[in-house]
Amino acid sequence: MKLTDTLKSKEVKNASWIIAGRVVQMVLTFLVSIFTARYLGPGNYGIINYAGAYVTFFTSLCTLGINSVIIKDFVDHPDEQGKAIGTTIVLRAVSSLLSSIMIVGIVSIVDKGEPVTVVVAALCSVALVFQVFDTINYWFQSKYQSKVTAIAGLIAYIATSVYKIILLILQKSVMWFAFANSVDYIVVAICLFQAYRSYDGPKFQFSWKKGKYLLGKSYHYILSGMMTAIYGQTDKLMLKQMLGETSVGYYSLASSVNLMWCFVLQAIIDSIYPTIMSLYKNGSKEAFERKNRQLYAIVIYVSIFVAIMFMLFGKFAVVLIYGAEYEPSGNLLKIIAWYTIFAYLGIARGAWMVCNEAQKYLKYIYSIAIVANVILNFIFIPIWGAAGAAAASLLTQILTGMVLPCFIKQMRPNAKLMAEAFLLRKIR
């Protein structure tokens, strides 16, 4: 059997486990989120998502960019996998603790006089500490064993759903709901660690030398990740300060509805990522480029189909499911749905970037994107409110994913691959 056929079989099996697990998770999340959003109302729902915006921003700092290069390191240095995982966990643990402290400090200053917001932010930030164990997830991905992480994620979602249901029955305050994401990551961490032991994963080791090597490869991703988070969360942060938490609630619900299906794209990307790395390592340039085109084509056309469905039925579905109180979210969804195409094209090109060592250019792209996003939000939010924030994010994603790479010589080959994928050329 050819290498590409073998890899394709592993991709399909790996992706099917991820998707199956995420489908069940999506159903649970969807059902529980309906009652949670209705119970909390746009205001409290907005406070949780406002605090979550800070957590998302600092998540990019906590990962240290290593998640973008660690699978390649597993492939290139199979005898150092335990050292890579152990070192990464220690480095991420330190950065996560510091980040949690910084979140509480920043929110205490920016939202002075709002004790509930500060407490909610503190409870949400606990998740950062336990996120460090998702490093183990990448080891299972490199082994095409995503069924393990799918099962771990499912158990966590069930536990989190039960936790939220109990809160709804007992009619607890917004602060209790803020801790829900932390419950999710705590359970995932326990499950992944136990699974890693049962699969006889290599013993964790810490090495300064390995740490320097990984950070040397990933520091471009630290900057780009932080920059992506800044312009990805700027809309919520600016909406809170300019219009209040209710607008954040409307915007966040629309974003959450849109993200409910994105696990499909992420599962496909995660499953094809190791294949792209292997094809590049084996010198199969033609197969390497074809696989990238195939991945981009899937992202583009699946996203377009879903965006059209949201355009036609999104508002009706939001009002029917979440109630008339969230009707403004339906209009926002029509805009937000379209930037999924460009956001996930950016994620999908990660493998190409690592293989071609082009990650250093990301900091320039995202620096421009941050400035553009802030300016667009300042212009559009006063005019169109939350819809202006959605429009600003869409234009920024287009700029980042498709426009700016054309002006960088070393990234033009990737821009060409994306254009060919859009035209469905050379994908077979």
Tell me the domain boundaries of the chain: 3-422
**Interval 67-85: pLDDT, tens:** 667 777 777 777 777 888 8
Single-letter amino acid, residue 204: F
Q: What average pLDDT does the chain have?
A: 83
Distance CA 259, CA 56 (A): 14
Is the pLDDT reported for residue 300 higher than 90? yes
Cα separation values, 274 from 144, 164, 201, 218, 303, Å? 8, 36, 18, 17, 23
Is the pLDDT reported for residue 301 higher than 60? yes
Distance CA 83, CA 88 (A): 8
Single-letter amino acid, residue 247: S
pLDDT band at 225 (very low <50, low <70, confident <90, very high): low
Per-residue pLDDT at 206: 82
Is the pLDDT reported for residue 338 higher than 70? yes
* Other beta carbons within 10 Å of 273: 24
User: What is the 3-state secondary structure of 90-105?
Assistant: HHHHHHHHHHHHHHHH
Is the pLDDT reported for residue 295 higher than 90? yes
pLDDT band at 220 (very low <50, low <70, confident <90, very high): low
Distance CA 26, CA 32 (A): 10
Per-residue pLDDT at 34: 84
pLDDT band at 140 (very low <50, low <70, confident <90, very high): confident
**Interval 46-69: pLDDT, tens:** 899 888 888 888 887 777 776 667
Distance CA 178, CA 40 (A): 11
- CA-nearest of 107, 139, 148 to 13 is 148
The residue-averaged pLDDT of 389-409 equals 90
Sign of the C-alpha dihedral computed for residues 364, 366, 370 and 375 taken in this order: positive
User: What is the 3-state secondary structure of 353-400?
Assistant: HHHCCCHHHHHHHHHHHHHHHHHHHHHHHHHHCHHHHHHHHHHHHHHH
Per-residue pLDDT at 14: 56
pLDDT band at 310 (very low <50, low <70, confident <90, very high): very high
pLDDT band at 256 (very low <50, low <70, confident <90, very high): confident
**Interval 151-196: pLDDT, tens:** 777 788 788 888 888 999 998 888 899 888 788 888 888 888 888 8
